[in-house]
Amino acid sequence: MKTIIKIVSIVTLFFANYCNAQSCEKIKEKFDNHKVAVRLIKTTRFNFTEDCDTSKSSWIKSLKFKSCDLKVGYIFLETKKKTYIYSNIPISLWNEFKYAKSLGKFYNTRIKGKYKIQIKNK
């Protein structure tokens, strides 16, 4: 009986989160602020999501790619202190990034400062 209750709880939680998510088409070009961008993108249903093994990195704790069209997408890079989001990342660049010998070096030379999300000017 306990197993059935756990399964029902997990399924309910999954569908509640899935139904509350928005579709890719509703993602804005510009966000009010970084916090809003993180929340909106995290709650969007993407057609493709992939994680990267970050165990070889000393400072990148999590690295994910999310895309609606498998051409470009968002990178979520999480450190102990902050989540960084980069947009319009070509999937080819993501594929290079996830297999790079040094994630940090690749990030610093190929991504940092080049693919920032757009924040509206107040």
Query: Is residue 49 a contact partner of residue 66, using CB atoms and an 8 Å limit?
Result: yes
Instruction: Parse the chain into domains and list their residue ranges.
Output: 23-119
- Quote the pLDDT of residue 4: 58
**Residue 19 pLDDT:** 39
Beta bridge partners of 92: none
Backbone angle region of 44, left / alpha / beta, with phi > 0 → left and psi within -120 to 50 → alpha: beta
**What pLDDT is attached to residue 89?**
95
Residue 25 has what pLDDT?
67
Closest C-alpha among 93, 75, 79 to residue 38: 75
Over its length of 122 residues, how does the chain's per-residue pLDDT go in tens digits?
656 554 544 444 444 333 345 567 667 678 888 888 888 888 888 999 999 999 989 999 999 999 999 999 999 999 999 889 999 999 999 999 999 999 999 999 999 999 988 887 75
What pTM does this model have? 0.76
Rg, C-alpha atoms of the chain: 16
